[in-house]
A and B are shown apart, each in its own frame.
Chain A
Amino acid sequence: MNKTWCERINPVVRDMPPSGIRRFFDMVAETKGVISLGVGEPDFVTPWHIREACIYSLEKGYTMYTSNSGLLELRYAIARDLAETYGVTYDPKSEILVTVGVSQALDLALRALVCPGDEVLIPEPSYVSYAPTVTLAGGKVVSLPTGMEQGFCLRAHQVEAAITPRTKILLLCYPNNPTGAVLDRKTLLEIAEVVVAHDLIVISDEIYDKLTYVGQHTCVASLPGMKERTVLLNGFSKSYAMTGWRVGYACGHGDFIAAMTKIHQYTMLCAPITAQMAALEALKNGRAGMERMVREYNRRRHLVLHAFRDMGLPCFEPKGAFYAFPEIRVTGLTSEEFAEILLQEEKVAVVPGNAFGSSGEGFVRCSYAASLEDLGEALRRMAQLVRRRGVRPRVISTPSRHLPARDAGVSAAGGASSRIFHPGRN
């Protein structure tokens, strides 16, 4: 060969850094006896009635291709679910596309929309795939850093300030991975105003919508005037504990869904029928089971927040998803150092915050999708490390009355004016 593989590989791919999680994964995989809070998926297996429905569909011989857009019955069920939950109506025949997880839906949406050099605004810290997927589609990533002081919530003025003549898309993901932040309706309305004023498109990844613990999730497409300029992405992975099935969907304007479907039919054909059958069962009969899981996550959410407060780590109150994003700067370590030392000395895996963009530096992502026993033990071990790093545990033994002034929901551990623990609520 005259040229090496390296020389032949598309430079866009060659120069793309591997996921920050990957390196850490290899390190964790080599360590024995690790309790992991680094997992970005539910610790529940898919409810049995869903698995059983899938097995039954196999027995009946459902093993063929489906329509490119996905099983029509499933699209009807998705439309019904969205209409009932958010009052947004999509035509199952032309405005919904069933995909192989939200990942593929996002890839399709970006490929169908982005022209070389188009700018895509992404609030940061963000899910690890967003930026690379934009780059692969030929777009330019513009990060909008959000910090703990603003509750990791994107603000309208940030969007406004980042807009250039090339800005085309705002990519939202709330409830957010990795921070657990949610955007309230008011903030979203302000952002929507900017989006409309500058004629942008919103791609909204709402995979964690059902896992909202405080207040109600606001579906971007349900805001006045936003449905026509929103590509709504969702799926079954998180709310129904179906990560490995890989089923998601995209909803949007018929013309745009048709464009996405064109790429889909040439590159994927259709999502696997067995998984679509399972998804249909999830929508038909999965609500009670899903609500049980949500209640369980919420209790664990209180538990981890309380534990971080006690060990002296400031932590923003996550209102959705199943992640907590404590700040570890008080230990004097960087995110990666903290994660590495925690792994080596205490055998607990968390994900360094900088894996989600540079604004995640100083934080670690802890998933509370873990059993109560594992969670309790992992937090105990984490507290030991934090104490060894000279951070004083600030145990407030008697939770005080309701205190105001916590608009961002940030709690400096032990601080007098803000706290995580709300004995009065519920």
Chain B
Amino acid sequence: MNTLELLELLEDNARLTPEEIAVMLQADAGEVRRAIQELEQNKTILKYMTLVNWEKAGEEKVSAMIEVRITPQRDVGFDAVARRICRFPEVRSVRLMSGAYDLAVFIEGRTMREVSHFVATRLATIEGVISTTTHFVLKTYKQDGVIVEDSEEDRRLIVSP
């Protein structure tokens, strides 16, 4: 069985059952189940999640991308500071970037005030953080490969030769 294809299927739809995957990949269901288990155990599969359009659910959320410049430390480089930032539950993602700043930190909060407060009191005060630049998200068009308001429905004729 092709593990990459298995991952590709699950990344697109985590609700597929091992039986369904087994049929599609011409494998044995037990084999699929074992492969998934192993991928979960060795953390190749990190988590199964649902992509939610919170705006549609009536939940107000404010998110921001914060450019963080930090002083790399001897032996650990950027890792120590990055790992500290990771621990805050408000932080959705942390990535080391090439270019004018070091870390791209995505934050989610309930209000703008909450996010600003977090940046000012938590993030900016971490030792090693030189500066932060906060960019608030105004609108999300596409997220994790999914276009939020996709108008491309099936327009094919219902029967064709």
Residues of B contacting A: mostly = loop
Asked if A41 CB lies within 8 Å of chain B CBs, one says yes
**Do B23 and A25 touch across chains, with their CB atoms under 8 A apart?**
no
Please state if A40 and B2 are interface contacts (CB–CB under 8 Å): no
**Cβ–Cβ < 8 Å partners of A372 in chain B:** 13
> A326: shortest Cβ distance to chain B, in Å?
16
B23 contacts A303, CB within 8 Å? Answer: yes
User: Which among B41-49, B51-59, B110-118, B153-161 touches the partner chain?
Assistant: B153-161
Our pick among B1, B154, B157 for the contact of A25 (Cβ within 8 Å) is B157
> With contacts A426-B1, A426-B2, A426-B26 known, is A21 near B159, CB below 8 A?
yes
Is the Cβ of B25 less than 8 Å from the Cβ of A36?
A: no
Q: Is A423 an interface residue (CB 8 A)?
A: yes
B20 within 8 A of A: yes
Q: Which of these, A41, A43, A128, A302, contacts B23 with CB under 8 Å?
A: A302
Q: Which residues of chain B come closer than 8 Å to A299, judged between CB atoms?
A: 9, 24-25
- Min CB distance B147 to A, Å, is 10
**A43, B25: Cβ atoms under 8 Å?**
no
Q: A21 to B160: give the CA distance in the assembly, Å.
A: 7
Q: For the complex, what is the distance from the CA of A45 to the CA of B27, rounded to whole Å?
A: 30
Q: Which residues of B contact A303 (CB under 8 A)?
A: 20, 23-24
- Of the candidates A21, A34, A423, the one whose C-beta lies within 8 Å of that of B26 is A423
Q: Is the CB of A21 within 8 A of B161?
A: yes
Which residues of chain A come closer than 8 Å to B20, judged between CB atoms? 303
Interface membership of A98, Cβ < 8 A: no
**Which A405-426 residues have C-beta < 8 A from chain B?**
421-423, 425-426
Q: Does B152 contact A (CB under 8 A)?
A: yes
Q: Please tell me if B5 contacts chain A, counting CB pairs below 8 Å.
A: yes
What 0/1 readout, one digit per residue, does chain A (1-45) give for beta carbons within 8 Å of chain B?
A: 000000000000000000101001100110000101011110101
Cross-interface CB contact of A295 among B5, B27, B154, cutoff 8 Å:
B5
A38:B159 contact, CB within 8 angstroms: yes
Interface hub of A300, A302, A423 (most chain B Cβ within 10 A): A423
In the complex, whether B28 has a CB less than 8 A from a CB of chain A is: yes
**A interface residues, how many (CB within 8 angstroms):** 33
Asked whether A28 and B158 contact (CB < 8 A) given A299-B9, A303-B20, A426-B1, the answer is yes
A67 touches B (CB below 8 Å): no
CB closest chain-B residue, reference A356:
B161
Q: Which residues of B contact A300 (CB under 8 A)?
A: 24
Q: 1/0 per position for A279-305, CB-CB distance to B under 8 A?
A: 000000000000000010001101100
From A21, A43, A128, A351, contact of B154 by CB (8 A):
A43
Q: Which residues of A contact B27 (CB under 8 A)?
A: 423, 426
Contacts of A41 in B (CB 8 A): 156, 160
Q: Shortest Cβ distance from B106 into chain A, in angstroms?
A: 25
- Contact check, B159 vs A351: say whether CB atoms are below 8 A apart: yes
Q: Which residues on the A side are within 8 Å of B25 (C-beta)?
A: 299, 302, 426
The answer to the question of A155 belonging to the interface, with a C-beta cut-off of 8 Å to chain B, is no
The closest CB in chain B to the CB of A43 belongs to B154
Assembly CA distance A380 to B4 (angstroms)? 29
Check A399 against B156 for contact (C-beta < 8 Å).
no
> Does B161 contact A129, Cβ atoms closer than 8 Å?
yes
For the complex, what is the distance from the CA of A128 to the CA of B159, rounded to whole Å?
13
Give A29 to B157 CA distance when docked, in angstroms: 9
* 5 tightest A-B CB contacts, nearest first: A299-B24, A38-B159, A25-B159, A306-B23, A40-B160
Interface residues in chain B, defined as those with a beta carbon under 8 Å from any beta carbon in chain A: 1-2, 5, 9, 13, 20, 22-28, 152, 154, 156-161
Q: List 17 A-B contacts (CB under 8 A).
A: A19-B161, A21-B160, A24-B159, A25-B157, A28-B158, A29-B158, A38-B159, A39-B158, A45-B152, A177-B161, A299-B24, A349-B158, A421-B23, A422-B26, A423-B26, A425-B26, A426-B26
